[in-house]
Amino acid sequence: MLGLYIGAFLGMLSETSMNIALPDLCDAFGITTGTAQWMVVGYMLAIGVVLPCVGFLLKWIKAKTLVLFALVCFAVGSALSACAPVFALVLAGRIIQGIGTGIVLPTMYAAIMRVFPPFMIGAANGVAGLVIMFAPVIGPTLSGILIGAFSWRAIFVLFAVVALVAIVCTVAFFVTPIETTRPKVDILSVVASVIGFGCLVAGVSLVADMGFSALVVVLLVVGIVVVAFYAYRQLHIDNPVLDLRALGIASFRTPALMVTCSFACTLAIMYLAPQELQRGLGLNSSVAGMLMLAGGVINAICSFATGRMYDKVGARPLVRAGAVVAIIGSVLFLVIGVTTAPAFFVLAHVVFMIGIPLMQQSAQSAALKGLPRELAADGSTILNTMQQVCGAIGTAVATCLLGMGSGASEAQSFVAGSRYGYVFGLVLVVIVFIFSFFLKEDRKQQ
């Protein structure tokens, strides 16, 4: 699994490390902030388009071959962005990276279901959580260091090098745990998937910058209508591209919703917190990055430990404990003001980051374990698609709430807007806590 773990870490690192480089890209190519923002939107768009097709691709292509293709895409895309003389090629490389990430994430979880016996799924997911949840925290810090020491191109050079390491590990160690059945291809479903999820992710991602403009509204409406058609078709054809019957299984559906809410909460908080440190508390980017690091380390440790604990006690007690701790952390975030000591922010962040993996990792393990093995690939794809789409929605909502803040100064306005975003995160955590009472688990398989 090492190659997949590294690939997933790389994908999440890339997803969260680009914001800090956007001003440098604007200066380097003479482009506007709106144009540079496509480095983020284009990446998420590629992931959103590819993700729903991965379950079907795994039925046609050997898992090892597909993983190697994804990692090569990431390496090639990174190299292209690093060397590109014009912004269009930098963006093209970025989109190619998104294709690789969209393949690797669901394949990793599908492989976990096939490689590990049921009593080790929690531990395997714990390792996955460790590498994935640590990436969003160190991404901005690492990017800031590389830009300060070299330039924005160094970020893509790092991506390419790590991708090559993942390729070597995959060639050396990875097996093909998922059988290829080669079902009939439904072209209409593939086209609907690309259009529907592409428009939905693009529309949601652009809300923060463009508001509900005509373009954004059209993208959202087309996305919702086409995704609805896509879902209806998957449930009424013999060989669906994505078997949505998995959502009819309560032991998968309930924890999948919990994972989605906690992931959206995490991305929203991770979007707000570093900006509040800089624009609300007046700290520079280097100090802000260092203050975020403690919570990231705690998160990684708790993600790994949660996997071990899940194998022993199941998801329900872990989710409830995690929700309570995350609620406490969210309330602490609400207390932060322009004169708050940085140490208090670290405390709030650490507490929050203890609760999140207890919720997310245990719910993810429960969701995957609640599926029969023949639905593992489709279930993993559904889970990752829900996370990416709802994560984009969570970030967009947090951005809109941020703009609602008002105060005597710009810093106070920013803190006030951040509080609205933290309340949104708090609501998502409360939803997870409520869902935990409807979680059904078969403890005989533990």
Task: Tell which residue, 336, 299, 303, 295, has the closest CA to residue 421.
Answer: 336
- Interval 38-72: pLDDT, tens: 787 788 788 878 888 887 788 888 889 999 999 99
pLDDT of residue 323: 94
- Residue identified by tokens 């591209």 is 241
Stated length of the chain? 446
How is residue 377 written in tokens?
Answer: 């690939």
The fold of the 1-181 domain, in CATH, is Growth Hormone; Chain: A; (1.20.1250)
Predicted confidence band of residue 258 (pLDDT cuts 50, 70, 90): very high
Amino acid at 368: L
Q: In terms of C-beta density within 10 A (0-12 exposed, 13-18 middle, 19 or more buried), how is residue 31 classed?
A: middle
pLDDT in tens, 357-374: 899 888 988 888 888 877
Rounded distance between C-alpha atoms, residue 408 and residue 178, angstroms? 59
How does the average pLDDT of the chain come out, rounded? 85
Hey, what amino acid is at 115? Answer: V
**Residue 104 above 60 pLDDT?**
yes
Q: Is the model's pLDDT at 262 over the cut of 60?
A: yes
Please tell me the chain's helix, strand, coil percentages from 3-state DSSP, rounded to the nearest 5: 85, 0, 15
Q: How many alpha carbons fall within 13 Å on the CB side of residue 74?
A: 36
- Is the pLDDT score of 445 beyond 60? no
The average pLDDT across 162-173 equals: 93
Measure the CA–CA gap between 53 and 136, rounded to whole angstroms. Answer: 25
Residue 34 has pLDDT above 90, yes or no: no
SS3 51: helix
Predicted local confidence at residue 237, as pLDDT? 86
Section 68-96 average pLDDT: 94
Whether the per-residue pLDDT at 298 is higher than 80: the answer is yes
CATH superfamily of 249-446: MFS general substrate transporter like domains (1.20.1250.20)
pLDDT value, residue 444 = 46
What is the average pLDDT across 11-24?
Answer: 78
Mean pLDDT score, 431-446: 76
Span 197-226, average pLDDT: 85
Question: What's the Cα-to-Cα distance from 182 to each of 49, 56, 111, 330, rounded to whole Å?
Answer: 21, 9, 18, 47
% of the chain residues with pLDDT over 90: 30
- How large is the average pLDDT for residues 179-194? 82
pLDDT exceeds cutoff 90 at 430: yes
Cβ atoms 96, 29 nearer than 8 A: no
Q: Which of 70, 100, 113, 121 is nearest to 379 (CA)?
A: 113
Per-residue burial over 233-258, b = 16 or more CB atoms within 10 Å of its CB, e = otherwise: bbeeeeebbbbbebbebebbbbbbbb
